[in-house]
A and B are shown apart, each in its own frame.
Chain A
Amino acid sequence: EAGVAQSPRYKIIEKRQSVAFWCNPISGHATLYWYQQILGQGPKFLIKFQNNGVVDDSQLPKDRFSAERLKGVDSTLKIQPAKLEDSAVYLCASTSVGQPNSPLHFGNGTRLTVT
């Protein structure tokens, strides 16, 4: 099966600019996650979707971050305006069921550099 697809692979922007990341999960996977991985740290949870609805966005900095999954398949994560501390790899993951005991399938991530 095809894996989780993410684009772009790399993005460099200046602070205060906006940026968007795209994720296409594994076909048939209803549950989609976004994680932020800062260099030298483990991935940090941002948001969870079940189909096209938000299940948990408790860790998403909503003053500058937004995410959507309008048709229950692809998802977009946006940052506006970006700050230097947003430099990180943004990982998308999916799973067929939304249970916490289900392994996540991760994409290769988008590496964001904010200058």
Chain B
Amino acid sequence: AQSVAQPEDQVNVAEGNPLTVKCTYSVSGNPYLFWYVQYPNRGLQFLLKYITGDNLVKGSYGFEAEFNKSQTSFHLKKPSALVSDSALYFCAVASGNTPLVFGKGTRLSVIA
């Protein structure tokens, strides 16, 4: 069975500093990896995905993520954090025809 681990419940970062939100996964077969963001009282919004190809994928709002097959990781990164990036971030994985499985989420707080 596939699974996603987000080891940090909360990440705090100062505005302008780089941020990283960690994600590791377990799946049989080739993974399809996603990051979604959730703002209060809103649904999830797609940020970026890795399907195949270049290990570094770029997404919305300046976010990027690096696929590392040997470490089974897909960490979300941004070079310079904004206060408006404060939200709940979810990593998710699918494989073959399996439905998307989400991690428990990491709350990002960017402090001015």
Number of interface residues of B (CB under 8 A): 26
Find chain B residues with CB under 8 A from A13 CB: none
CB-defined interface of A89-110 with B at 8 Å, one 1/0 digit per residue? 0010100000011011111110
Find chain B residues with CB under 8 A from A42 CB: 4, 90, 92, 102-105
Find chain A residues with CB under 8 A from B43 CB: 4, 91, 93, 106-109
Contact A40 B104 (CB under 8 A): yes
CB-defined interface of A50-90 with B at 8 Å, one 1/0 digit per residue? 00000010010000000000000000000000000000000
Contact B90 A101 (CB under 8 A): no
Contact B49 A100 (CB under 8 A): no
Tell me, yes or no, whether B11 is within 8 Å of chain A by CB: no
Contact B41 A101 (CB under 8 A): no
Contact B41 A44 (CB under 8 A): no
Select from chain A the residue with minimum beta-carbon distance to B102.
A42
CB-defined interface of B38-70 with A at 8 Å, one 1/0 digit per residue? 000111111001010000000000000000000
**CA–CA, A41 and B44, complex, Å:** 13
Contact B46 A103 (CB under 8 A): yes
Find chain A residues with CB under 8 A from B90 CB: 42-43
Pick out which of these stretches binds chain A: B14-22, B79-87, B93-101: B93-101
Residues in chain B within 8 A of chain A (CB atoms): 4, 32, 34, 36, 41-46, 49, 51, 90, 92, 94-105
Residues in chain A within 8 A of chain B (CB atoms): 4, 33, 40-45, 48, 56, 59, 91, 93, 100-101, 103-109
